[in-house]
Structure 1
Amino acid sequence: MARKRIGELLLEQRAISVAQLEAGLAAHRKSGQRLGATLIAQGAITEATLAGVLSQALGLQQVDLAAVTPEWAAVHLLRARFCEQHDLFPYALESVGGRRQLVVAMSDPLNVTAVEEIEFTSGLKVNVRVAALSAVRSAILRYYHKVPVAAANTAATAAPGASRPAPVKPLVAPPVQKARAAPPPEEDDDEVIVGEELPPGETTQRTSLAELIREREEQRKQRRGQATAKPKPAASGGGVLDDLDFLFGQAREDPDRIEELERKFWALMRIMARKGLLTKDEFTRELDDEGER
């Protein structure tokens, strides 16, 4: 998925002006609301414009949630609070190349943090679709909180840019499988908020660690790709895979399983870095193969 932010894409597509972006960012920092919702509330763009720009710029399909009948197996994989926090809605499971994927409608498909957390907790790859913000919130109210369709649509569209509607006590609590609610946002000025524009070249300790982790992940992928063209040695020495073998008890002969474990490992490292649970020194000393050489 592209690493750009919503503000950059909207500017590139000439959907907003620089002045509108600056005003949106100022309000976004004060309220903590997502940038897209803030721009909609200010009248800079419409929901349809935002969804169209994101779909076209990122090459992602749009989905009309009002015309979709969700699969309960998909809905039950995520909790209502997590969906409300990130303005997303899981609505289908599909098989791609023999592997199951969770199809998720998102008003902000650039929210990589949410995607990675879903993939880590569910063990499924996420297939993102773009949806209008009010449609996502209406689906959450309807399928998680059992609010009737008309009432859900009214609550979701009454104030498109306002804060999320207060959760309605569900009439029937839906079962939840293999998911956990995301913690509330941290009060930390050093945290990078998805959708917020940083001045060119500005970095923080967490962003520099995140970049190092991504660099090591790419190097590991390249090595794995090169290794597939060569005979595998009978034994290998040390590194991330041995740690994963020990933690998960997985035999090394299954390349698909190894790839899945590695993907979970790197996702966990990025989550820990963003939450300030891992320092750069700790990563290079304990986990970075390159740093040991």
Structure 2
Amino acid sequence: MSRKRIGEILLERGAITTAELDAGLKAQRQTQQRLGATLVSLGAITEPMLVQALSEALEIPVVDLRAVAPDWAAVHLVRARFCEQHEVFPYALESVGGRRQLVVAMTDPLNKSAVEEIEFTTGLKVSPRVAALSGVRAAILRYYHKATPSPAASPSRPAPSAAPSAARGAAQRPAAPPAPSRASPPEDDDEEVIIGEEVPPGENTARTSLAELIGKREAQRRKKRGKSESKGRSSSTSGVLDDLEYLVGDLREEPDRVEELERKFWALMRIMARKGMLTNEEFTRELDDTDEG
């Protein structure tokens, strides 16, 4: 997935001007909304234009949540509060190459931290789809809070991405007709998926620097492990796998399981770094103790 930011993508595609991007970034610092929603609220771009530009630039399909019947097995996997905070909505499970994936509608497919947390907490790889913010908010209200979405949920009128009090108030209105489901709707739960203070998007801090360092170490370990597969495990790549085997048993005969656990391990490291639960010194001392070459 592209590492560019939404503003860069829109600017390169001629959807917005440099002046509009600057105005959007300035407004974003005040509203704390995501940049895409901020640009829509300022009238610099329409919601359909934003969705189409992201879909084409990132080569990710678009989903219209108004036209799908969510699988409750997927909805149950992610908490309402997390969906509100990150503007995502899990709506289906699919099988790719014999492995299950969680299909998630996202207003910002570049929100890597949200993807990593979902993958870590569910144990499933995320298959993203680009969706309109109004559609995601309406789906959250309808399927998590059992409320009829109102026109006020449109991004043309700025609103915080996480607004449990508003959602609870909306829940007092008459409920929409029940949608096809395989299970009863999940109860609203105010508990976060992972407790901790997330670093605001785009903010450069020691936490984000550490998260990037962990990402580089993960890429290096994967590359070394790939080279050593035909020769057996080398001492330079055995550290993480040894730790995993200590926790869950011998994994030498389960390569698929090794890959899944390693992915979750590195995702956890990055999540802890962004939430201030891991320092650079701790990472260097406990985890980065092998050759970096």
TM-score relative to the length of structure 1: 0.86
Contact 2:72 2:185 in 1 (8 A): no
Q: Which moved more, 1:14-23 or 1:111-120?
A: 14-23
Give the one of 151, 154, 159 matched to 1:157: 154
Q: Residue by residue, what CA displacement relative to the aligned partner does 1:96-145 show, whole Å, maximum 9, x if unpaired?
A: 01100000001111111110000000000000000000011011111111
Partner of 1:181: 193
Mapping of 1:104-183 within 5 angstroms? 104-148=104-148, 152-157=149-154, 159-164=156-161, 166-168=166-168, 174=186, 180-183=192-195
Q: Does 2:209 align with 1:208? A: yes
Shift of 1:211: 2.2
CA contact (8 A) 2:81 2:192 kept: no
- Write out per-residue CA displacement over residues 235-283 of structure 1, whole angstroms, 9 at most, x where no aligned residue: 9995111111122335322111111110011001111111121111211
Q: From the superposition, tell whether residues 175 and 235 of structure 1 become closer, same or farther in structure 2 (CA, over 3 Å).
A: farther
SS in 2 for 1:290: coil
In 2, are the aligned partners of 1:28 and 1:35 still within 8 Å (CA)? yes
Distance 1:233 1:7, change over 3 A: closer
**Corresponding position: 1:80 with 2:62:** no
Q: Is there any run of 5+ residues in structure 2 with no aligned partner, and where?
A: 176-183
CA contact (8 A) 2:92 2:104 kept: yes
Matches of 1:176 and 1:245, distance apart in 2: 37
Q: Does residue 223 of structure 2 align to residue 222 of structure 1?
A: yes
Asked whether the equivalents of residues 80 and 188 of structure 2 are also in contact (C-alpha less than 8 Å), the reply is no
SS in 2 for 1:276: coil
d(CA) in 1 for partners of 2:292, 2:131: 45
Q: Do 2:197 and 2:275's aligned partners in 1 also have CA atoms closer than 8 Å?
A: no
Query: Secondary structure of the residue that 2:43 maps to in structure 1?
Result: coil
In 2: Cα distance, 1:117 partner to 1:24 partner: 27
Q: Which amino acid aligns with 1:223?
A: K
Amino acid at match of 1:76: H
In structure 2, the CA distance between the partners of 1:291 and 1:229, relative to structure 1 (3 Å rule), is closer
When residues 93 and 180 of structure 1 are mapped into structure 2, their CA distance, relative to the original with a 3 A threshold, is farther
- Provide the rounded CA distance (Å) in 1 between the counterparts of 2:141 and 2:2: 30
Aligned length: 277
Query: What is the distance in 1 between the residues matched to 2:209 and 2:56?
Result: 30
- Structure 2 SS opposite 1:101: strand
Aligned residue identity for 1:50: L
Q: Which moved more, 1:245-254 or 1:105-114?
A: 245-254
RMSD: 2.7
SS in structure 1 at match of 2:168 = coil
Listed as ranges, the gaps of 5+ residues in structure 1 are: none
CA contact (8 A) 1:107 1:131 kept: yes
Counterpart for residue 279 of structure 2: 279
- Distance across 2 between alignment mates of 1:91 and 1:255: 29
Q: 2:226 and 2:10 mapped to 1: Cα distance? A: 36
Q: Which moved more, 1:275-284 or 1:78-87?
A: 275-284
- Once the two structures are aligned, what percentage of the paired residues are identical? 62
Structure 2 residue matching 1:2: 3-state secondary structure:
coil
Q: Using a 3 Å threshold, how does the CA distance of structure 1 residues 237 and 82 change in structure 2: closer, same or farther?
A: closer
- Equivalents in 2 of 1:157, 1:287: separation in Å? 45
Q: Look up the match of 2:45.
A: 45
Quote the offset at 1:220 in angstroms.
Answer: 1.0
CA distance in 1, matches of 2:255, 2:220: 17
SS of residue paired to 1:95: strand
